[in-house]
Amino acid sequence: MGSSCFAGAMEAVSSAVIKNKDMLTDLDRVIGDADHGINMARGFEAVMKKLESAPPQDLQSGLKTVAMTLISTVGGASGPLYGTAFLRCSKAAEGASTVTAELAEKMLRAAIDGIESLGKASKGDKTMIDALEPAYAALSEKMKQGGSLLECMESACGAADKGVEYTKTIPAKKGRASYLGERSIGHQDPGATSSAIILKALTEYCRTAGKE
């Protein structure tokens, strides 16, 4: 996926987030502020408008535009967290014109590190990290086996889905959901879910665009 495909990839992500707005909000209604889907959809609607009005010159600048737009338009903790993730991806993509499996691994690691640094969360806290850390491990392993970008992304998606399921089995330790303690068990984390949705959208874009 070269920089020329960036707009298409982000359109796929934005469409997926907007399509799942109500589902994400319903999940957040149970253990959070009932606004995750609404906030995420607003943010990615703004991203698409920004990219349409000012097409990025390269991959790095495009990712930075996404980051700054999310930070400025998404409410709650999601804006800074997702904004930081895309900003770290932007830095990792410096000088790159094509997303390879190696670069995907590098960007995902950078994104996770940024989220963990800002949110002070780790695996097992019932957050987006519970989807992203397994996704990274699976992507990295598949890459070491010589997998294509698409194969690596597919592995990441499978692991992320399992991570989302895992969040149902543990109490929340971060954010509004942590106030519920043990009562949050049985409910999947909205942030982990939106992370999995984004990974799936990127994977599907890779598949339909034939960029293996």
- State how far the Cα of 13 lies from the Cα of 179, in Å rounded to an integer: 31
Q: What pLDDT sits at residue 27?
A: 96
pTM: 0.94
| Residue type at 117 in one-letter notation | S
What is 99-119 written as a DSSP string?
Answer: --HHHHHHHHHHHHHHHHHHH
180 pLDDT more than 70: yes
Task: Evaluate whether 165 touches 131 at the Cβ level (below 8 Å).
Answer: no
Residue of higher predicted confidence among 180 and 74: 74
Angle at 16 between CA 14 and CA 19, to 5 degrees: 105
200 pLDDT more than 70: yes
What would the pLDDT profile of 108-147 be if each residue is shown by its tens digit?
A: 999 999 999 999 998 999 999 999 999 999 999 999 999 9
Q: Which domains does the chain have, with CATH numbers?
A: 3-209 (1.25.40.340)
Distance, CA of 80 to chain centre? 13
Paired tokens of 207: 């598949």
